[in-house]
Amino acid sequence: MLDQFLDAYPNFGIDAFFLLVILVALEAVLSADNAIALASISKGLADSKLQRQALNFGLVIAFVLRMALILTATWVIKYWQFELMGAIYLLWLVYQHFTSTSDEDGENREPRFATVWQAIPVIALTDLAFSLDSVTTAIAISDETWLVLTGATIGIITLRFMAGLFIRWLDEFVHLENAGYVTVGFVGIRLLLKVINDSLVPPQWLVVVTIALVFLWGFSEHTVVEVTEGEASAEIESAQQEPALKAQEQEVQKSEI
């Protein structure tokens, strides 16, 4: 059966299989910072249901844009202006995050988006900006368009699940969101260096190692659950009343005997 399949599709062989595995793995690694950026954008909506809807619809549009980018990649890479716009957009996201995540008292601001439809285009554009880096890397590995399309399809499905996980983890780890945006800054700077001079671009392995180290820092500290003043006083009052309640129970038991 497998032999018949390979005979019918001569371009699909063991080499293609391993290339597909490499492309999917590459998408997963390079999508970690993308996923946390999308999760953070989705957190701009107050309700968890709206966050999931924004991710779903945003990534459907992002999928269409990414496929179009792959199909036109040989044309897009001729124009450095696209990478420059992507770099500026990603660095703007980083700037916006670090200058507006909290107010003067250190408290989180109100949700950024009033409706899902405000968040969807931001999610789609953010993924497109990231795709400028990952797609050109994928094209460099393989010139088989169908293979790159397949890898990108699996990659964006993986991205959806990763973003869903990060939405929960953002509430559990203190430094995770900042770590994610630091890596977004790395991608933006990398795109900017490609525009200035290709020889200045750090190797891919160094980028992956750096992102891994930053994420280790991001997962290094759990969020401390704060107890409000009212909750603390209620707990103290309950603890103080507990001995009296026990004494009353003992008296009731004695009287019953």
Number of domains, the chain: 2
Indicate whether 236 and 126 sit together in one domain.
Answer: no
Residue 127 domain flag = yes
Residues in the chain: 257
HSE-CB at 44 with a 13 A cutoff on CA atoms is 23
Indicate whether 168 and 235 sit together in one domain.
Answer: no
Q: What are phi and psi of 9, to 5 degrees?
A: -125, 80
pLDDT at position 92, please? 92
Indicate whether 240 and 187 sit together in one domain.
Answer: no
pLDDT at position 217, please? 92
Indicate whether 220 and 139 sit together in one domain.
Answer: yes
Indicate whether 164 and 174 sit together in one domain.
Answer: yes
pLDDT at position 5, please? 35
Task: Quote the domain boundaries for residue 252.
Answer: 226-257
**Along the 257 residues of the chain, how does pLDDT read in single tens digits?**
333 333 444 444 445 566 666 666 666 666 777 888 888 888 888 888 888 899 999 999 988 988 888 888 778 777 888 888 988 999 998 998 888 755 444 444 455 788 888 899 999 988 888 888 766 665 655 566 677 777 778 778 888 888 888 888 888 888 888 988 898 888 889 889 988 988 888 887 787 788 888 889 988 888 765 544 555 455 556 555 556 555 566 665 555 55
Find all residues with CB under 8 Å of 77, minimum gap 6, and list them. Answer: 136, 139
Q: Six-digit token pair at 112?
A: 């950024």
pLDDT at position 222, please? 85
